[in-house]
Structure 1
Amino acid sequence: MIELEGLTKRYGGKLAVDNLTFTVRPGVVTGFLGPNGAGKSTTMRMMLGLDRPTAGDVRIDGRHYDRLTDPLKYIGALLDAKAVHGGRSAHNHLLCLAQSNGIPARRVHEVLDAVGLTAVARKKAKGFSYGMGQRLGIAAALLGDPQILMFDEPVNGLDPEGIHWIRHLMKSLAAQGRTVFVSSHLMSEMALTADHLVVIGQGRLLADTSMAGFIAQNSRSYVRIRTPQRERLLDVLHEAGITAVESGSGVLEIDGGKPERIGELAAQHHIVLHELSPQQASLEEAFMQLTAESVEYHAHTDTPARPWGADWQKGD
C-alpha cells in the first residue's frame, strides 16, 4: 500500500504538487492520470525518495522509502527505461541490483525469462531498442518479487504483443493481491488495464474513484434509438414520462434512460426498433472533460499550418 498525505513540492516559485492525499491499495491496478505538467512524475519520484517533499508525507507499507531495508523487495519501479549503464549486459545490470538488495542470483534468470530477454541477456544495454529497454526496466522492477509495483509509461516502445503482455502482467500482479500503480498517457490502454483512477491537474487531486465511476461522473450517458415509427414512439415515451430529443437523421436520444425499459415499452405497443443502444463516453472523453481547465500547454488547432520557411521564402 502507498499512502500520501498532504504531499507538496515546490521548485522555487512553482508549485509542482499541491497537497496531494490519496491511497494506492492492493488488489487492483490503479491508473495515475493527468495532463503534461500535472506533477505525476514529481509525485512518483517523491514516493521513491528521489525528491524530498516540501511538505506532507508519503509511506510505503507504513514506512518512508529511505527506511526500507532491501527496498527492491518492497517496491519495484520503472520510471526511466534509459537509466541503465550502456556498457553492462542485461544480465549484469540485474545482477548488480540483485547483489545490492540481497536477492539470489537465480532471480535474475527468472525475470529475464519472464520479460522475454533471455536470448539477449549477455548483450550490452546500449544496443537495445527502446522496447527492449522497457522490458529490462520491467525486469528490474520485478527482481525483488515486491508487493508494490510502480510503472511510468510502461508500454512506450513496445510492439502490440508487448503491450498485450504488460497489460496482462499488471492485471495478474494485482490479482495476486499486490499494489500496482501505473501512469500513462495512452487512454485506450489505461481503459483496458486500470480498475481505479487517481487524476491530478496542476498538482492538485481531481479524482480518486473507480474507472466506471470516473466515466459516469465526467461524461454523458444516454440511449440512442432509431425507429420507422418515430412519432408513435415519442407519444408512448411521453405517456411514460420519458423525454426524448431528436438529434438528426431520425435518431432519438434519451439522457440517463434504461434501454430495457424503453425496449419493453416499444414491444408492448408493437413499435419496430432499428436501434436501441446505450451510449457511454470513453475514458479519453471523460478525462478531457475533467481536466479541461488544468491543461498547461494548449495547441491551437484552429490556426492553419504554413509550410516551414514560407515567410523566409517571401523575404519577410
Structure 2
Amino acid sequence: MIELCELTKSYGDKKAVDTLSFAVRPGQVTGFLGPNGAGKSTTMRMVLGLDRPTSGRVLLDGRPYADLPAPLTRIGALLEATAAQGGRSARDHLLWLARSNRIPDRRVGEVLDVVGLTEVAGKRSGGFSLGMGQRLGIAAALLGDPPVLMFDEPVNGLDPEGILWIRTLMRGLAADGRTVLVSSHLMSEMALTADHLVVIGRGRLLADVSTEEFIDRNARSYVRIRTPQPQALLDALDAPDAVAAPGAGRITAQPAEDGSWEVEGADPARIAALAAARGVVLDELSPQRASLEEAFMRMTADAVEYHGTTGDGS
C-alpha cells in the first residue's frame, strides 16, 4: 500500500503539492488524474524518494522508500521511458538493475518475455522506438516482482495491441493483490482500466472515489427517447402516478437538436412502463451514461492552470 500523509512540496512561493493525503490500496488499479501542472509527477517522484517533501510523508507498506533494503523488490515504477542508458542493450540494462538489487539474473529473461522484447534483447535501447522504450521501462518496473507498482503515462507510444496488453497486465497485477497506481491523461483508457480514482488539481486532492462514483457525481446521465408521440410521452411522464411510486422523484424531459428527448429522473424500465400504460410508441429508449472525460473536465474546470485557445480567438 502507498500512504501519503499531508504531503507538501514547495518551490519558492509555489506549492506544487499542497497537504495531499490519500492511500493507494492493493487489489485494484488506482488512476491518478489531474490537469497539466496539477502535481502528479512531483507526487510520484516523492513516493520514490527522488524529490524530498517540504513537509508530510510517504510510506510504502508502512516504511519510507529510503528504508527499503532492496527497493525494486518492494516497488516498481515507470516514470520516464527514456531512463535507460542508450548505449546498453535491453538485456544489459535489466541485468545492471537486477544485480544492484540482488535479483536473480533469470528474472531478466522472464520480464523480457512478459513485455515482448525477447527478440530485441541484445539491441541497444537507444535505437528503440517510443513504444519499445515503454515496454523496457515496464520490464524494469516488473523486475523485482514487487507488491507495489506505479506507472506514469504507460500507454505513450504503444499501438492498439500494446494498449490492450498493458491494460490487461495492470488489471492482472491488481487481481493478484498488488497495489497499482497509474497516471494518465487518456481518459478513455482510464475508464477501462481504473477501479478507483484519485484526482488532484493545483496540488490539492479533489476526489478519492471509485471510477463509477466519480462519473455519477460529476457528469450528467440521461435516457434518450425517440417517439412519434412526443406530447403523449410528456403527459405520461408528468402523470400523477409517475411520481407516486416510493422513492420516485420529478422526471424532466428536454428536446434535443436531433429530434430525440433527453429524460432525467427515471431509469429506462420505469419510463417504458409509464409509456406502455398509456400506449405511447417508443422508437428508441437508451440510457446515455456520461463519460469519464466529461466528468473529469467538469471536476477540474477550476483547477486547470494552463488554458489554450482554438486559434480563432475563442
Question: How far off its partner does 1:231 sit?
Answer: 1.1
Residues 199 and 206 in structure 2, CA contact (< 8 A), matched pair in contact too: yes
Letter of the 1:228 partner, please give it.
P
Whether contact under 8 Å (1:220, 1:255) holds in the other structure is no
2:248 corresponds in structure 1 to none
1:261 matched to 2:270:
yes
Worse overlay, 189-198 or 222-231? 222-231
| 1:97-112 matched pairs, under 5 angstroms | 97-112=97-112
| Aligned twin of 2:17 | 17
Mapping of residues 33-182 of structure 1, within 5 Å: 33-182=33-182
Higher deviation after alignment, 27-36 or 255-264: 255-264
Question: Following TM superposition, by how much is the alpha carbon of 1:268 offset from its aligned partner in structure 2, in angstroms?
Answer: 2.2
Say if 2:261 is the partner of 1:252: yes
| 5+ residue gaps, structure 1 | 306-316
**SS, match of residue 244 in structure 1:** strand
Q: How far apart are residue 69 of structure 1 and its match?
A: 1.1
1:40-66 per-position Cα deviation (integer Å, ceiling 9, x unaligned)? 000000000000000111100000000
Partner amino acid, structure 2, of 1:299: G
Amino acid at match of 1:296: E
Q: Distance in 1 between matches of 2:124 and 2:311?
A: 47
SS at 2:252's partner residue?
A: coil
> Normalising to structure 1: TM-score of the pair?
0.94
CA distance in 1: counterparts of 2:257 and 2:72, whole angstroms? 58
CA distance in 2, matches of 1:245, 1:99: 65
Partner of 1:204: 204
How many residue pairs get matched?
Answer: 305
Q: Please list the CA deviations of residues 107-147 of structure 1 after superposition, one character each: whole Å capped at 9, or x if unmatched.
A: 00000011000001111111111111110000000000001
CA distance in 2, matches of 1:257, 1:302: 41
Q: 1:309 corresponds to which residue?
A: none
TM-score, normalisation: structure 2: 0.95
Structure 1 counterpart of 2:83, one-letter code: A
- For residues 256 and 283 of structure 1, the distance between their equivalents in structure 2, rounded to whole angstroms, comes to 21
Residue 301 of structure 1 aligns with an amino acid whose one-letter code is T
> Partner amino acid for 2:154?
P
What CA distance in whole angstroms lies between the structure 2 residues aligned with 1:83 and 1:183?
17
Counterpart of 1:295 (choices 301, 304, 311) is 304
